Amino acid sequence: MIASIDPATGQEIARFEPHSPREVEAALTAAAAAQADWAARPIAARTPLLRRLAQTLRAGADRYARLITAEMGKPLGEARAEIEKCALTCDFYAEHAADFLADRPVASSAHHSAVVHEPLGVVLAVMPWNYPFWQVFRFAAPALAAGNGMVLKHAGNVPQCALAIASVFADAGCPPGLAAVLLVEPEAVASLIADDRIAAVTLTGSTEVGAIVAGQAGRALKKQVLELGGSDPFVVLADADIELAAATAVKARFTNAGQSCVNAKRFIVEDAVADRFVAAFAARIAALRVGDPLAPDTDIGPMARANLRAALHDQVRRTVEAGAALVLGGAPLEGPGFFYPPTLLDQVTPQMAAFREETFGPVAAVTRARDADHAIALANDTEFGLAAAIWTADAARGQALARRIQAGAVFINGLVASDPRLPFGGIKRSGYGRELGDLGIREFVNAKTVWVGPVQEAAA
């Protein structure tokens, strides 16, 4: 059974029987047929679907947001913002897909040569629970605009969101079968990847699951895009605006109760300003309100599952036992639900769990650096490479330092966030491939070279 559990109470909301093998087979057959027809349509005939998807999302925003909050616990305001971001992304690709996928002439020895972009086919999307609508639509909008189809295997703890996403596509007039949603157990993913009707795979999730899926897709010789874990550094240099950096740090770490691959997790601060930063950071963290995610004044809701909270607390315990200073929080909250208080650790060193491991929850770890060079070395001292932030009054210096950070994105004096206009993805054990922007729409296309020689005139 696939169960939906309210993380604010720990109570079961609903349960669903997984789709049967016969239903899965029918969905794959329908997806392949629908995608073949979809790919044959010109892009101008495909992008209106994206406009309708945006309209459908906005029309049902409150209902979809409440489903998100009920199933994974984020505050309702954040859930509404997630729906709007999905709609904005659909609108973005409706407007720009034709330009991104236009034939590209190439100078060569031919009379004419060009690179053309053709869809790969049906893409299997294995998606996570932490942004249950956004993660799907940031892939689906460009993939569908490019002429691909989709089979969605969503996270097991957000089945109602998965079914709601299916209704969004249906209500927007998506061709039947083109965007299939399957409720299946994780063990079914391997057979889906191996199926000849699946052309490629995209996954957002943990590094461990990413390695498994990459191996399965690799054996089938199928294209993959993987957006995996992160332990993003938030580097504060001595010349930074400390108050602004601290205020942004709260959003960077505690949005979605810290349950995001791209949340800042390691706060690397130059010694000269470390005490000031920790004091300002702690004051703002202490003001955060933890509670019912449906309440308008709640800043932090519950964590999504009990086992995630237990794993996070174990990381905090091990870090404190290794010598870190516990400034705030540090223990699960009593009562129903999976609540963990916003927690601040100081004097964290690279050998400690909160520095070395990904902390997927409301825990911030401060590490002190001797100088800027040491801060960059600490930022890179991780197996992850998703994103990073640098805070400095010298923008030119920030740009130079950004080139030394090993990450898929670096934000200078700003909050790291995905944006449909900008490519998004990681390096090292944070995965490979890109979503969003012009690069994202080209991940699941065949960049085909077409070479045309000179036409020979027939002899008289």
Q: Report DSSP letters for 388-456, one per residue.
A: EEEE-S-HHHHHHHHTTS-SSEEEESS-----TTS-B--EETTEES-BSHHHHHTTTEEEEEEEEPPPP
**pLDDT over 70 (residue 460):** no
Per-residue pLDDT, averaged over 162-175, amounts to 98
Instruction: With cut-offs at 50, 70 and 90, classify the pLDDT of residue 95.
Output: very high
Task: Identify whether residues 87 and 181 lie together within a single domain.
Answer: yes
Q: Are 348 and 324 in contact (CB under 8 A)?
A: yes
Q: Is residue 423 one of the residues assigned to a domain?
A: no
- Give me 258's structure tokens: 């810290």
Q: Mean pLDDT, to the nearest integer, of 68-76?
A: 98
State whether 200 and 310 are in the same domain.
no
Tens-place pLDDT, residues 366-375? 999 999 999 9
Asked if residue 103 belongs to a domain, the reply is: yes
What is the model's pLDDT at position 111?
81
Q: Give catalytic status of residue 261 as yes or no.
A: yes
Question: Which residue among the candidates 71, 78, 82, 227 is catalytic per the annotation?
Answer: 227
Q: Which two tokens stand for residue 305?
A: 């599952």
Domain match, 237 and 302 both? yes
- Residue-by-residue DSSP string for 268-303: EEEHHHHHHHHHHHHHHHHTPPBS-TTSTT-SB---
Cα-trace Rg, the chain: 23
- 378 and 443 inside one domain: no
Q: Indicate whether 169 belongs to any domain.
A: yes
The C-alpha atoms of residue 334 and residue 440 are separated, in whole angstroms, by: 43
d(CA 283, CA 61): 34
In a domain, 417, yes or no: no
b/e string for 58-94 if b means 16 or more Cβ within 10 A?
bebbeebbebbbbbbbbbbebbbbbbebbbbbbbbbb
pLDDT of residue 458: 58
**For 349-357, what is the mean pLDDT?**
98
d(CA 13, CA 2): 11
Measure the CA–CA gap between 113 and 287, rounded to whole angstroms. 61
Regarding whether 75 and 6 lie in a shared domain, the answer is yes
Q: What is the pLDDT of residues 337-349, one digit of tens each?
A: 999 999 999 999 9
Q: Tell me: pLDDT of 284 over 60.
A: yes
pTM (whole model) above 0.85: yes
Q: What percent of the chain has pLDDT over 70?
A: 99
Residue 245 lies in a domain: yes
Q: Tell me, yes or no, whether 160 and 119 share the same domain.
A: yes
Instruction: Tell whether 89 and 144 lie within a shared domain.
Output: yes
Which pLDDT score, from 0 to 100, does residue 403 have? 98
Reply yes or no on whether the pLDDT at 459 is more than 60.
no
The answer for 330, left when phi > 0, alpha when psi is -120 to 50, beta otherwise, is left
Alpha carbons within 13 A on the beta-carbon side of 144: 33
Among 261, 357, 358, 435, the active-site one is 261
Per-residue pLDDT of 391-418, as tens digits, reads 999 999 999 999 999 999 999 999 999 9
Is 253 a domain residue?
yes
Query: Residues 193, 260: one domain?
Result: no
Whether residues 237 and 219 fall in one domain = no
Helix and strand element counts for the chain (H, E): 15, 20
User: What's 323's domain CATH number?
Assistant: 3.40.309.10
Indicate if 25 belongs to the active site: no
Instruction: Indicate if 179 and 133 belong to the same structural domain.
Output: yes
Give the model's confidence band at 110: pLDDT under 50 very low, under 70 low, under 90 confident, else very high: confident
Domain total in the chain: 2
Looking at residue 108, its pLDDT comes to 86
> Are the beta carbons of 235 and 389 closer than 8 angstroms?
yes
pLDDT tens column, 76-93: 999 999 999 999 999 999
Average pLDDT over residues 221-248: 98
What pLDDT does 457 receive?
62
Q: What is the pLDDT of residue 289?
A: 98
In a domain, 248, yes or no: yes
What percent of the chain has a predicted confidence (pLDDT) above 90? 97
Q: Do both 266 and 379 map to the same domain?
A: yes
Residue range(s) defining the domain that contains residue 276: 232-412
pLDDT of residue 184: 98
Q: How far is CA 155 from CA 133, 322, 388, in A?
A: 11, 34, 27
User: What pLDDT is recorded for position 345?
Assistant: 99
Least confident of 98-112, 127-141, 240-254, 278-292: 98-112
Phi/psi at 78 (5° precision): -65, -35
Q: Are 389 and 414 in contact (CB under 8 A)?
A: yes
Q: Does pLDDT of 162 surpass 90?
A: yes
* Alpha-carbon span 413 to 304, nearest angstrom: 30
Residue 114, domain member (yes or no): yes
218 with 259, same domain? Answer: no
